Amino acid sequence: MMKMKSGAEQGACILAMVGTQLADVPIKSDAISERLSASPSYLKKVMRKLVINGVINSVSGVNGGFTLAKDPKEISLYDLLIAIQGDNLFIKFGGGLKKVFPESEIAATGERILQDAFLQAETQYLESLKSISLHTILSQAIGTEEYQFVNWNEKVNDELFNQLQEAMSEGEIS
Amino acid sequence: MMKMKSGAEQGACILAMVGTQLADVPIKSDAISERLSASPSYLKKVMRKLVINGVINSVSGVNGGFTLAKDPKEISLYDLLIAIQGDNLFIKFGGGLKKVFPESEIAATGERILQDAFLQAETQYLESLKSISLHTILSQAIGTEEYQFVNWNEKVNDELFNQLQEAMSEGEIS
DNA sequence: CTATAATGGATATTTAATATCCACTTTGAG
DNA sequence: CTCAAAGTGGATATTAAATATCCATTATAG
């Protein structure tokens, strides 16, 4: 089975599907993994991360599946990334400098400076991602504010997307 | 042999040693790997990355070793990270969305938005790291501007660092 | 010429990410 | 109440990437 380059990209695709799914019909994980040609069991674990982090909701059983847990305007790339990657995202500095300068304050001071610097950088990174919401991405890409119009659980006619695109390029400017 | 958590931390330790080495005596890679209790051959490859990226210089042969390629004020954490990690640092988005919305512009537009957003975030991250120089870290941690005073190729008396610390805490404020 | 140190390629090992399998729980329908 | 469909969770397997080793080569000083 083909491997996704990164869990984050997979997460983005998941949100694209959950976010465009008809609001009252939960999307099944199998529908997503099929479309992404991704490992069904692993994809479920990825989706679970999104559930645990409050990005999507899940319901078990017949008619079960996944829905967005919040308004798409309240779901940012920050939320996506934190949910998928947790704190495994960035460089972590341990106590390496202690080997260079043992038993003096030099190592401790140095590490503090390093940690502050990277924390600062990480904060900038994450803050930047907070400004892009799922709503922004979907409405811009699809060209309409009513993007919850697909039932991915059924066979999807991909031509529909083309028609939509054409209609948009004539009518309104997104 | 103990493994370093991350190449970046190892790189920081390397720069700490090269940066405090007596200016006219190149430091040998074996002196560094011994002190860091790191794999000598792998550490050489890490150092090679720093050489290739213009952070340090190398000389082969007897009396050979490594020296800083630039003024410590001109070496930033950005330089370190780029040298060590290259472009493997961040999330990369491939063409995953094309599976969700095939053959329409939706995927292309979506990916462009995502890529822009992450590029923006990465830029913020890296720019932030540019503001911290090796000079800043060493002078702050050690407490003096004359930090190129160690010959790591010889047996180092670690007590010296403690004495230095004490002298600093009496005399000047760093 | 020789000893020392960095370089580079091929390969091995280890770790983390990805994937699979299966037993379990939850839910709605009949 | 039972059954089938769907998510959950744990144990484990596979794969890819990072780390490590080995060894032959090149560069340099004496």
DSSP assignment of A21-37 equals: B-TTSPBPHHHHHHHTT
Q: Would you state the pLDDT for residue A174?
A: 44
CA distance A11 to A43: 9
User: Does the pLDDT value for residue B170 go beyond 90?
Assistant: no
B4 phi/psi in degrees, rounded to 5 = -75, 145
User: Does the pLDDT value for residue A90 go beyond 90?
Assistant: no
For each of the domains in chain A, give its residue range(s) and CATH number, in order of start: 1-75+133-163 (1.10.10.10), 92-132 (no CATH)
For the stretch B91-149, pLDDT in tens is 888 788 999 999 889 999 999 999 999 999 999 999 999 999 999 999 999 999 999 99
Is there a contact between B93 and B111 (Cβ–Cβ < 8 Å)? yes
For the stretch A108-164, pLDDT in tens is 999 999 999 999 999 999 999 999 999 999 999 999 999 999 999 998 888 877 777
CA distance B54 to A8: 32
User: Closest Cα of chain B to A44: distance in Å?
Assistant: 17
Per mean pLDDT, which of A52-61, A80-89, A156-165 is the most reliable?
A52-61
CA distance A95 to A107: 8
With beta carbons under 8 A apart, name residues in chain A contacting B106.
141-142, 161, 164-165
Interface contacts (A, B; CB < 8 Å) = 176
User: Does the pLDDT value for residue B27 go beyond 90?
Assistant: yes
Q: Would you state the pLDDT for residue A169?
A: 60
For the stretch B30-40, pLDDT in tens is 999 999 999 89
> Residue A85 class from Cβ within 10 Å (0-12 exposed, 13-18 middle, 19+ buried)?
middle
Is there a contact between A154 and A30 (Cβ–Cβ < 8 Å)? no
A32 phi/psi in degrees, rounded to 5 = -70, -50
Q: Would you state the pLDDT for residue B172?
A: 52
User: Does the pLDDT value for residue A170 go beyond 90?
Assistant: no
What average pLDDT does chain A have? 90
User: Does the pLDDT value for residue A37 go beyond 60?
Assistant: yes
How many CB atoms are closer than 10 A to CB B28? Answer: 16
Are the beta carbons of B5 and A114 separated by less than 8 Å?
no
B126 CA – C19 C1', rounded, Å: 34
Q: Would you state the pLDDT for residue B112?
A: 94
Helix (H) or strand (E) holding A88: none
With beta carbons under 8 A apart, name residues in chain B contacting A127.
124
Helix (H) or strand (E) holding B57: strand B56-59
User: Does the pLDDT value for residue A1 go beyond 50?
Assistant: no
Say which DSSP state B133 is in.
B
CA distance B130 to B136: 12
For chain A, the straight-line distance linking the first and the last C-alpha, in angstroms and rounded, comes to 37
CA distance A145 to B107: 16
β-strands B56-59, B65-68 pairing = antiparallel
Whether CB of A91 is under 7 Å from strand C: the answer is no
Q: Strands, DSSP E only, in A8-159?
A: 56-59, 65-68
Report CA B106 to chain centroid distance, whole Å.
40
* Over residues A31-36, mean pLDDT: 94
User: Does the pLDDT value for residue A172 go beyond 60?
Assistant: no
Give ∠ CA B141-B147-B152 in degrees, rounded to 5. 105
User: Does the pLDDT value for residue B2 go beyond 60?
Assistant: no
A63 CA – C30 C1', rounded, Å: 15
> Residue A170 class from Cβ within 10 Å (0-12 exposed, 13-18 middle, 19+ buried)?
exposed
Q: Would you state the pLDDT for residue A42?
A: 93
β-strands B56-59, A65-68 pairing = unpaired
